[in-house]
Amino acid sequence: MQNLYQNDSGNRTAVAYISGGPLRPQISGFVFFNDTLGGTIVTVQINGLPDYKPATATEGPIGPHGFHLHKNGTCEIGNPADPFQAAGGHWNPTDQPHGNHAGDFPVLFSNSGRAYMSFFTNKFRVNEVVGKAVIIHQYPDDYRSQPAGNAGKRLACGVIEWASY
């Protein structure tokens, strides 16, 4: 019987190393994806997030930050004023409305620029997300707007790869 924590190469952990783009180069960190019974545990540690700023009449709030899986595994910057568009839209393999995509994650709260959280999802296994991108957005996800939650510009990105120890 195959161990639930290993694939054929003996590894059931993937990681995305997060780097900030031109709008927020200070961001760095990682996101680990670990297979567990019935799904995946996602663990996030990020530094360099902007501090929270409430919305105004003309601008959305800065933070909490939308946090998603995007379908294309690239962190190509492209247009520095609107980076990481090559990562495409949210990963949504079962064609669900926004708020229920496999790629919809909880928002990241900046605490003096740092965010740390772990959560469980039963919407995917680790091997399904290797090669996708993780994106941190400027605004919080509203979990309503279609197709992507109106989370604003993309501040940071990381491509998911098998972890090597």
User: What is the value of pTM for the model shown?
Assistant: 0.87
What tokens does 52 get? 């929270």
- The Cα–Cα gap between 86 and 56 comes to 30
All structural domains of the chain, each given as residue ranges with its CATH number in brackets, are: 13-162 (2.60.40.200)
Span 53-98, pLDDT tens digits: 888 888 777 878 989 999 999 999 999 999 999 999 989 899 887 7
Span 22-31, pLDDT tens digits: 999 999 999 9
Say if residues 24 and 155 touch (Cβ distance below 8 Å).
Answer: yes
